Amino acid sequence: MDALTASPLCPAPLELQLDGIHFAAPELVVTATARQHVVACPGCGHASTRVHSRYRRTLADLPWHGLRVHLEIQVRRFFCDVSDCRRQIFTERLPKTAALYARRTARAASALEVIGLALGGRAGARLAEALGLAGAPAEILSVLSAVHAATDEGTDGHGDRARAGPRVLGVDDWAWRKGQRYGTILVDLERHHVVDLLPDRELNTLVA
Ligand SMILES: [Zn+2]
């Protein structure tokens, strides 16, 4: 499979070695193995080569010719041998492939972000479904809220862009915690950015 290692099917060839592709109706499954020989401990930064265990991580990826694609990666846990490090065992990071704990690849998250900023949660989810991108409304809003949190760091939490006032506003319900507390997410559908995350679903809060 070496000839396929640099294939577009593998999101980050430096991090992953492509092992195979098979069709498991209705989707395409791409299997890959993390390939770095030496990884840095996230606690202390020291290099480790001592493998503790392996497990399989599944990520939704970009569709291929309209087919949904899942990436199944064999990922490793490593020992950190630095005696005073608080992480005795750690999971290897694959930053170019996907964020830690993410359920989709970074490039699939970017695609959902673009769709969500153009259409909002519900309409965005319908387009994503039609394109073969796995993305329920709540997942699209989750991607948008992560982007909003990242771009709002260092400001007063509302950002200068919000004050200019959007003309076309997307309003969606948003679960702060899965199934527990609901808020509202506001997306400027013309300028394509998240305006704000509101703490509840009350009309008065939205009007304010
Ligand atoms: Zn360490």
What mean pLDDT is predicted for residues 94-116?
90
Q: Which residues pair with 68 in a beta bridge?
A: 27
Same domain, 138 and 204: yes
| CA-to-CA dists, residue 55 to 32, 64, 80, angstroms | 12, 25, 18
Q: Is the pLDDT of residue 184 over 90?
A: no
Q: How far away, in angstroms, is 183 Cα from ligand 1 center?
A: 38
Say which residue, 159 or 79, is predicted with more confidence. 79
Q: How far away, in angstroms, is 50 Cα from ligand 1 center?
A: 12
Q: Among 37-51, 65-79, 144-158, 187-201, name the one with the lowest average pLDDT.
A: 144-158
The residue segments making up the domain with residue 16 are 1-101
E strands, 35-168, are 39-40, 47-48, 51-64, 67-79, 89-91
Q: How far away, in angstroms, is 87 Cα from ligand 1 center?
A: 5
pLDDT band at 94 (very low <50, low <70, confident <90, very high): very high
Per-residue pLDDT, 60: 93
Same domain, 125 and 182: yes
Per-residue pLDDT, 118: 85
Same domain, 187 and 157: yes
Q: How far away, in angstroms, is 41 Cα from ligand 1 center?
A: 5
Q: How far away, in angstroms, is 92 Cα from ligand 1 center?
A: 12
Same domain, 153 and 58: no
Which strand (E) or helix (H) includes residue 188?
A: strand 181-188
Q: How far away, in angstroms, is 208 Cα from ligand 1 center?
A: 48
76, 101, 126 — which closes off a domain?
101
> What is the count of structural domains for the chain?
2
Q: How far away, in angstroms, is 94 Cα from ligand 1 center?
A: 17
Same domain, 76 and 120: no
Q: Of 74-83, 106-115, 136-145, where does the model show the most confidence?
A: 74-83
Same domain, 96 and 121: no
Question: Rounded to two decimals, what is the model's pTM?
Answer: 0.72
Per-residue pLDDT, 190: 75
Cα separation, 115 vs 172, whole angstroms: 14
Same domain, 134 and 183: yes
Same domain, 92 and 108: no
Same domain, 94 and 66: yes
Q: How far away, in angstroms, is 108 Cα from ligand 1 center?
A: 31
Q: Is the pLDDT of residue 45 over 60?
A: yes
Tell how strand 27-34 and strand 67-79 pair up. parallel
Buried b (16+ CB within 10 A) or exposed e, 4-20: bbeeebbbbbebbbbbe
Per-residue pLDDT, 197: 74
Same domain, 20 and 120: no
101, 131, 152 — which closes off a domain?
101
Of 30, 34, 95, 37, which Cα lies nearest the Cα of 61? 30
Say which residue, 25 or 144, is predicted with more confidence. 25
Same domain, 118 and 43: no
Q: How far away, in angstroms, is 51 Cα from ligand 1 center?
A: 14
101, 135, 169 — which closes off a domain?
101
